[in-house]
Structure 1
Amino acid sequence: MGTKFTFYEFFAGAGMARAGLSDGWECLFANDSDELKQLSYADNWAGEDVDPRDVALVKASDLDGMADMGWASFPCQDLSQAGPKLGMGKAGSDALTRSGALWPFLDIIRDLATEGRHPILLALENVVGLLSSNGGADFHAICSTLSDIGYRFGAIVADASYFVPQSRPRVFIVALRREVPVPGALRGEFPVNPWHSKILLRARASLPDTDAANWVWWDPGAPPAKRLKELHDLLDLSDDADWNSDEQTERFVGMMTNSHLARLAEAQTAGRPMIGSLYFRMRPDSNGKNVQRAEIAFGETLGCLRTPKGGASRPRIITVDGDRVRTRLVTMREAASLMGLEENFNLPPTYHEAFKLIGDGVVPAVVRFLAERLLEPLASHGRAYAEAAAIQKASA
């Protein structure tokens, strides 16, 4: 590859977006205010420093030149179904939620635009709850802000299960500077499966006309036909793994409702080993009192890896082979593999810290797919357009 594309990485975490973009991209500026993530980023990227300030303290003047792309995997805690559902708050408010940290990022982009050096592209990544939080008002506000700064934009919902054996749907908003024509090969006239889900269609349909005029149905083409690795490739299913005792597993089974016991019985008659996810959930009993239940789901993927908030939220697996039922925690290294991270990707030493990074991370394989199908063609096209415009201006 010739000259590298350049990008700013905000809410950088351990650099999983950077891992997906790979060597064809050069990071000009990385920012994250979390100390654990700063240390992990430096550990994985040859000692490179991360700007440690709160994003609200970063100014456009801190960013040199003009990058091809600004990437922001902004905090999801207040948008996730597992979180408090506080939404993003109002731009300019003194009491923003954690997910509202996107607004200072967009303020930086706005200031760069006044100088004529805002990135050709923006990529904003978060949980699918972004599309419906605050009754859709948060998504509307983002689209309105992008329109106002001077971008066209669209969104796709990509589930990591096309790439790794983990169900992890995420929404990616991709924005292109409005003066740059959109290549016909990268856009569709209509939404396409599997990238434009029903919740995204509803969110798009409710946009005001002024913002809808800037909408693009991005079309990255078909997803991969198969994953590179499956569950049985990534999990240690040997007797040497740290399985729970039979008594502990029996206690978990005793916490299941009849519907989940039926799932277990069905798995036992499958005639082959079965791997599933094991969750703990608070559910109302027959008297309306909340009690902890064990719930299971079998399939080709495990459930979404999350940031642990306590012992019950740690990811677990259940394996069934006839009458033999085993349960245990997912290990740190298995979780990294389920994220598609390379074996040489450095994790913090403790379980809680490792899962904090993993739970907040983006799957690099999804980023690589989007880079190949959308981001790199758009960045290349944007560069060519800028060069042609400069030549035309010089000759005028």
Structure 2
Amino acid sequence: MTEFSRLRKEAGLSIPDAVEALGYCERTIYRWETGDSAPRKAALEMLRQVARNKPPLSHSFTFIDLFAGIGGLRKGFEPIGGKCVFTSEWDRFSVATYLANHACDHEVVGDITKVPAGEIPSHDVLLAGFPCQPFSLAGVSKKNALGRQHGFRCEAQGTLFFDVARIIEHHRPKAFLLENVKNLVSHDRGRTFEVIRKALTEELGYHVQTRVIDAKSLVPQHRERIFIVGFREENDFDFDGLALPDRDKGPRLDSILHPEDGSEDPEERFTEGAKARVLPKYTLSDHLWGYLQNYAEKHRAKGNGFGFGLVDRYDVARTLSARYYKDGSEILVRQRGHKNPRRLTPRECSRLMGFDRLGEQPFAIPVSDTQAYKQFGNAVVVPVVEAVARHMEPFLRQDIASPRKVKEVA
């Protein structure tokens, strides 16, 4: 770990925080972080001063982590004083990774649909990256025919959003943050999002704002996701006011790839030798590389855009998906000489999603490569969540008012 990285962590600053506090561009900060260049003495001294004056972290609010995956949402809210009091994740492999990286004084619950809302601890903030599912029209059509009122209990029944809504209805948390794919807005011709919007605003009474954020500003990956922020009480929160770095000036893949020059300690599972070169197993076989090229050519001939994504150290990657374990086609790293391209290693995927960074304590990956690829492909980009959490922070620290009455739902 470099001196700059150590001091930055002691000061409690993320990479974006350091960019803002020190006044240098993100590329410069990353070079200091990894030891590629020597940091300015004034920058080191400023970090020392921040670390000396940093107040001890106290838990100023509580949160629950639903559909937790490997804890990306949690990693954004703990640094601003949040304490996780309940976690739900059904996939046992994800739970293994979650517990290897997060200290839990509570059991991780599996199927949230089987947990009564009253058995979930009270909390100030609800976090959830719920899956996108279509809502049934059957019950709604019947109630419309009878002229009876209906709401999320009818429209969303049987979906996992229903469980988010029923927990919000019961506990009335001060705020929530929901995350989903960008296409949630257009899913099922827009009906899915409209049911969600109406449930959160008209039925549960929350003040809701949404924003689609491209992680390209903060990590070398084009990844657009929708974030839905809701507050129980009206306030001056402005989601559009969240300032992010210029997307076209964001980090490049050299900030997450194994340097392969000896500047990184070898990690036996992913690299080998004194120069910590990526293991040969991540290089595509002649058969697979030939197949991908032929597949891409076939679709090019038809005028389609399907194909592999070949990148080098100065590019930005496509979106990492949960299917990356199959052939790695969306992000293939060009290699020197006449070698076939290679997949990212799981460690590089972890960095690409912001779970760890070069020069920092690595995120624990206790599962197989296949499971790791699925987990990182399904995860949130941590620096994006950190930015959203910091933007919400002033409103989370305000005094918690008493819950407002929930609108009755027939």
TM-score range, shorter chain: 0.5 to 0.7
Question: 2:241 aligns to what?
Answer: 220
Match of 1:164 among 204, 215, 219: 219
TM-score of the superposition, structure 1-length normalised? 0.68
User: What SS does the corresponding residue of 1:219 show, helix, strand or coil?
Assistant: helix
**What is the distance in 1 between the residues matched to 2:255 and 2:182?**
28
Structure-2 separation of matches of 1:246 and 1:13: 31
Measured in 1, the distance between the counterparts of 2:221 and 2:153 equals 37
Q: Secondary structure of 2:109's match?
A: coil
What RMSD over aligned residues (CA atoms) do the two structures have, in Å?
3.5
Q: 1:310 to 1:384 in 2, by over 3 A?
A: closer
Residues 234 and 310 (structure 1 numbering): CA distance in 2 closer, same or farther, change over 3 Å?
closer
State the one-letter code of the partner of 2:90.
Answer: S
Query: Which segment drifts farther, 39-48 or 236-245?
Result: 236-245
SS of the residue 1:139 aligns to: helix
**What residue identity is the alignment partner of 1:120?**
K
SS of corresponding position for 1:329 = coil
What is the match of residue 317 of structure 1? 332
- Answer yes or no: is 1:75 the counterpart of 2:92: no
Partner of 1:300: 315
Q: Which runs of 5+ in 2 are unaligned?
A: 1-56, 138-151, 262-276, 405-410
Q: 1:2 to 1:304 in 2, by over 3 A?
A: same
Aligned to 2:344: 330
Q: 1:293 to 1:60 in 2, by over 3 A?
A: closer
TM-score (norm 2): 0.66
Q: SS at 1:28's partner residue? A: strand
Contact 2:130 2:178 in 1 (8 A): yes
Match of 2:235 among 182, 198, 203: 182
Aligned residue type for 1:41: Y
Change (3 A) 1:169 1:254: closer
Task: Say which SS state the counterpart of residue 328 (structure 1) adopts.
Answer: coil
For 1:170 and 1:128, locate their aligned partners in 2 and report how far apart those are by CA, in whole Å: 5
- Whether contact under 8 Å (1:308, 1:314) holds in the other structure is no
2:191 pairs with 117, 137, 146, which one?
Answer: 137
The amino acid of 2:375's aligned partner reads L
Equivalent position to 1:376, from 393, 397, 410: 393
Q: 1:12 aligns with which of 60, 68, 86?
A: 68
Q: Which has the higher strand share?
A: 1
CA distance in 2, matches of 1:42, 1:378: 29
The offset of 1:33, in angstroms, is 1.8
Shift of 1:357: 1.3
- Per-residue deviation, 1:50: 4.1
Q: Which structure 2 residues correspond to residues 67-106 of structure 1 after superposition, within 5 A?
A: 67-76=123-132, 87-89=134-136, 92=153, 100-106=159-165
Picking from 273, 294, 300, the partner of 1:255 is 294
State the Cα deviation string for residues 291-335 of structure 1 (Å, max 9, x = none): x854546773111111127623565423277x8574011111010
Provide the rounded CA distance (Å) in 1 between the counterparts of 2:366 and 2:307: 31
In structure 1, the gaps of 5 or more residues are 79-86, 113-117, 188-217, 259-281, 390-396
| Structure 2 residue corresponding to 1:173, chosen from 199, 221, 228 | 228
Cα pair distance change 1:170/1:51, threshold 3 Å: same
Aligned residue type for 2:368? T
Q: Percent identity?
A: 26
Which of 84, 93, 113 is 1:36 aligned to?
93
Cα deviation digits, residues 274-306 of structure 1 (max 9, x gap)? xxxxxxxx84865x9x9x854546773111111
The answer as to whether partners of 2:60 and 2:397 remain within 8 angstroms in 1 is no
> C-alpha separation between the residues in 2 aligned to 1:70 and 1:250?
44
Residue type of the partner of 1:25? G
Question: What is the DSSP-based 3-state SS (H/G/I as helix, E as strand, rest coil) of the residue aligned with 1:174?
Answer: strand
Is the CA contact (8 Å cut-off) linking 2:328 and 2:343 kept in structure 1?
no
Shift of 1:63: 2.2
Residue type at the aligned position of 1:234: I
Q: Assess, with a 3 A threshold, how the Cα gap between structure 1 residues 367 and 130 changes in structure 2: closer, same or farther.
A: same
Give 2:35's aligned residue.
none
| Superposed displacement of residue 347, structure 1 | 1.4
